[in-house]
Structure 1
């Protein structure tokens, strides 16, 4: 009976770990979605500012940048630890690409 109990406990622990990972993934997806929305709003404010030759939307641009900064902080907090796991390679590559692109955001803002 002891062997069966050990396997049942391992099964339960595996289920809990899977649910925890699903929860973390859901939180990350929510943070990504919110960040993308905030980045799009900033892009829109920048486009309007550029089209008006800097006459309009200056305050909105700065407000959107602050919103993006808050969204970035939430995104970084939602990122799971970078731990090698089977089947995790593509996810890690996508996160690395996103982080690299986000690192270029200040330089991109300077060009506007």
Structure 2
């Protein structure tokens, strides 16, 4: 494998590390995910494999969309620092993607909790 191929992983990890250190929203989603995992593990133990996978999928979806949202915001702020309505809408839509992913996690958690309580 070429060095160029492995550099892709290096660049990706550098981006994730930068977001984890410098982006409040991304850090919040990471910590919130760990907190939710601990709470769910305590409340609903033992979790079946499919339940754990759905929770993990929903959380990873949040982390991915938050990373994309942060990247878009940084890029748009750099390219167009002054206020513009189209830029505002683009940022709002990216934030909406994170909210949608968060809603999916809530639905997954409520479904698992509901099933166990009934």
Query: Which structure's residues are more often helix, by fraction?
Result: 2
TM-score between the two structures when normalised by the length of structure 2 = 0.46
Larger-gyration structure (1/2):
1
TM-score between the two structures when normalised by the length of structure 1 = 0.48
Between the two structures, name the one with larger relative contact order (CA 8 Å, sep ≥ 6): 2
